[in-house]
Amino acid sequence: MMAYMNDQSYAETLRTGCAVYFSRSRGKLWRKGEESGNVQEVDSIYLDCDRDTILLKVRQIGDAACHRGYRSCFYRRVTPKGLEVVGEQVFDPEEVYKK
């Protein structure tokens, strides 16, 4: 998955050992898994060459990082015939988020 971090979310990630992002649409910290329970326990953190991208290696609780219930947000492959779902759905979003 890909998400945004600001200084505070990075500091909270280091402090708690779990991934904390910053939701730009909601304008606040996003403690990944706060609603679904699918938190991400941080195993290791890497910085890229120009230090503007952070890579987290995590233990994904619940086996799904994506709010749509897939292990990865990148569960659709681009093909000449359009998008093909290649991921396996681990949970039903309607049950987990109870909208």
Q: Which alpha helices (H) appear in the chain, and where do they start and end?
A: 7-16, 93-97
Stretch that binds a second copy, among 16-24, 28-36, 74-82 (CB under 8 A): 74-82
Looking at 11, 16, 63, 86, which residue binds a second copy (CB under 8 A)? Answer: 86
61, 40 Cβ separation under 8 angstroms: yes
Structural tokens at position 26: 């909601």
Residue 88 main-chain phi, psi, to 5 deg: -105, 130
**Considering CB under 8 A, how many residues would be counted as binding a second copy?**
23
Looking at 28, 77, 92, 97, which residue binds a second copy (CB under 8 A)? Answer: 77
Structural tokens at position 50: 């120009």
Structural tokens at position 36: 């679904």
Q: According to the binding rule CB under 8 A, does residue 94 interact with a second copy?
A: no
Q: According to the binding rule CB under 8 A, does residue 2 interact with a second copy?
A: yes
Could you give the CA distance from residue 47 to residue 78 in angstroms, rounded to a whole number?
28
Stretch that binds a second copy, among 16-24, 26-34, 60-68 (CB under 8 A): 60-68
Residues of this chain that interact with a second copy (CB under 8 A) are 1-2, 44-50, 53, 55, 66-68, 70, 73-78, 83, 86
